[in-house]
A and B are shown apart, each in its own frame.
Chain A
Amino acid sequence: MGTQLTTTRTDQPDGPNPRPLPPVEQARRGRRTGRGEVSLLGGMGHLALFFWAVIVVVPIIWVFLASFKNTTEIFSSPWTLPAELRWENWGRAWTTARVGRYFLNSVIVVGCSTFLTMLLGSMAAYVLARYKFWGNRFIYYLFVSGLAFPVFLALVPLFFVVRNLGLLNTHTGLVLVYTAYSLPFTVFFLVAFFRTLPLSVAEAAMIDGASHTRLFFQVMLPMAKPGMISVTIFNIIGQWAQYQLPLVLLSNAKDKWVLTQGIADISVNAGYEADWSGLFAALTIAILPMIIVYAIFQRQIQNGLTAGTGK
């Protein structure tokens, strides 16, 4: 193909049909195909990338399709399309298996605790970053030390602390615990962020007579927006994925369970009840909103999570 084009070009350089490639483009093509190593590595690389994309996507598509099948189809033809769209599987998962309830619980708990984490975390971080006072360093390291401790070390005493406060099996208890365990990272990240903000704006606002509190909420917080968004995303995803804390703190209140607990429980029960299509529907209901939210905000989510952990 390349040689043919070259001859065409030399034969009629100014033909009416501008079919030949411009020389630069042609030179580049020649150079690229000329290097065997490139095409070999490139070819293998493309294949590997495609293969991994398939590995990521196929289980999810497969679960989605199975959510419309009945048990016979799931066993006899796991790889075919469902014969009909059995939405009743989804209905059963939503109401009978209470996925709707679990989903709502997760939204309530994560919504409240992320809000509380960001409010308290940014307040503490701001004070620690911008004010000199006795004990500043101590409190900062107290927060940051929480990053080094595995949650499982605290699990037993935490259970009794929450129980003694009468917060066992309540959403309030879970919200407070989520918030407390999200503070180390939130404070750590936001202290670094508040330190980068310029002093001059704060001073100007103070001269204009703003109080410390007003300065924080009306000047500093809006300026810290990029950092706040990153940490918020990090916290939402982390808290939404929580499994061991609700398992310990909500064990005896099935109507208060969050989504991860609920789905894990449905998965156990599906075996006894042989309701496999219900399990697939429940899984799909748990996964699909995540896919949609991720598809819309993927850039922010990727940036937020990597900024969140990459430092």
Chain B
Amino acid sequence: MRHGKYPFVIGFLAAPVLLYSVFVIAPYAQAFQISMTNWRGLSAPQWVGFDNYRQLVEDHRFWQAIQHHLVLLIALPLITIAIALFFSFMLNVAGKSSGGQRTGVWGSKFYRVVFFFPQVLAVAIIAVLFQTVYRPNESGLINGVLMKIGLDPILFLVNPNIALWSILGVLVWQAVGFYVVLFSAGIASIPGEIYEAAEMDGASRVTLFFRVTLPLLWDTLQVAWVYLGIAAFDAFAVVAVLSVDNGGPDGATTVLALEIYRNAFTYSKYGYASAMGVALFFLTITFAVFTLRVTKRESVEY
């Protein structure tokens, strides 16, 4: 059994570890280092300490991006989870019960297939799709209808007050189906007898939802919140492709990822872009740790 173990272990690990070190670990480590330099790509990088971070604090665009992340961080999980939770309850529990077996409402299988579909499309493709949906003239899907019935068109992406919300709409549109399926799996593992007993005691469906489904689904909800929060810290593809003027109008939809990309590959401010990357890293980590702490509860045994 022990014969030839080490050559085998090394042989199997060499290629993945090498690839991973070169393309993942090394760049991550370098990012922290580059963020302390004024590197512009041409001459050798000079050490500037925390200068980039000092500059970052005074950068109006940076704070704009942070603000948008905060909006997305609260709104994206809240809206997505609320809708998905309601739908998965409808699709799994709200139907008639026969012999202790809870079922969903009529057409549950169909809805689950359709809702999930946006999940398999690439986000960049979805962004192009919604660019046509949101178009501000009569060729847009929504404004085409509004203008036919004599209403003013809504300038979804051009009006700075609603541009971010229009983008949020796309993120929710894509995400709901996935969380419906995720929550459905959680609900399916709740024993039918619990519902049966609660119903026998005269619990209404609303009570069932808040007193049975929700507490027993807590772990899944926590995971969902973390994933959606991390998604709220990215949103690169959808903002880069969908928003007017790359994060516009006038920075009304910009996110950190976009500012990193712009500073690095348009302005060649590699040191500054890396400092933003480090800021993004700490924000993401803080969010994940914070969420897991705050939502920590005694898990319900069943």
Residues on B with C-beta less than 8 A from A290 are 120-121
Report whether A79 and B144 are in contact in the complex, using a CB–CB cutoff of 8 Å.
yes
Query: Is B176 touching A52 in the complex (CB atoms < 8 A)?
Result: yes
- Structural contact, A131 and B140, CB atoms closer than 8 A: no
With contacts A131-B5, A161-B26 taken as known, whether A310 is within 8 angstroms of B236 at the C-beta atoms is no
Contact B111 A155 (CB under 8 A): no
Contacts of B241 in A (CB 8 A): 243, 264, 267
A78 to B8, CA, bound (A): 63
CB pair B23 A158 closer than 8 Å: yes
**B155-172, CB under 8 A of A: which get 1 and which 0?**
000000000000000000
Interface: B94 (CB within 8 A): yes
Instruction: Closest A residue to B176 by CB, please name it.
Output: A52
Q: State in angstroms the CA–CA spacing of A154 and B261 once bound together.
A: 11
Identify the stretch in A4-12, A90-98, A117-125 within 8 Å (CB) of chain B at 4 or more residues.
A117-125
Residues 216-243 of B, flagged 1 when their CB comes within 8 A of A and 0 if not, give: 0000100100010000011011001100
Contact in complex: A263, B128 (CB < 8 Å): yes
Give chain B's interface secondary structure class.
helix
Contact string, B92-121, partner A, CB cutoff 8 A, digits 1/0?
A: 001010000000011100111111111111
User: Is A143 among interface residues, defined by CB-CB distance under 8 A?
Assistant: yes
Chain A residues, Cβ within 8 Å of B138: 75-76, 78
Q: State the CA gap A157–B5 with chains docked (Å).
A: 36
Residues of chain B lying within 8 A (CB to CB) of residue A139: 13, 17
Q: Tell me, rounded to whole Å, the shortest Cβ–Cβ distance linking A45 to chain B.
A: 4
What residue in chain B is nearest A260 (Cβ atoms)?
A: B124
Question: Is A154's CB under 8 angstroms from B27's CB?
Answer: yes
**230-265 of chain A: CB within 8 A of chain B:** 237, 240-244, 247-248, 251, 259-261, 263-264
Which of chain A's residues have a CB closer than 8 A to the CB of B297?
Answer: none
Instruction: Give the residue of B24, B177, B178, B204 whose beta carbon is less than 8 angstroms from that of A154.
Output: B24
Residues of B within 8 A of A180 (CB): 19-20, 22-24
A48 contacts B by Cβ under 8 Å = yes
CB distance from A132 to the nearest CB of B (A): 9
Chain A 275-311, CB within 8 Å of chain B: the 1/0 string? 0100110010011001101110010011001100110
Contact residues, A108-131 vs B (CB, 8 A) = 120-121, 123-124, 126-128, 131
Number of A interface residues at 8 Å Cβ cutoff, please give it.
Answer: 100
How many chain-B residues does the 8 Å CB contact rule pick out?
A: 100
Alpha-carbon distance A128/B30, docked complex (angstroms): 27
Contact in complex: B4, A150 (CB < 8 Å):
no
Partner of B117, one of A49, A152, A237, A291: A291
Q: Is residue A177 within 8 Å, beta carbon to beta carbon, of the partner chain?
A: yes
Beyond A126-B12, A183-B19, A244-B261, whether A156 also contacts B34 by CB under 8 A is yes
How distant is the Cα of A215 from the Cα of B114 in the complex, in angstroms?
42
Q: Which residues of A contact B8 (CB under 8 A)?
A: 127, 131, 211-213
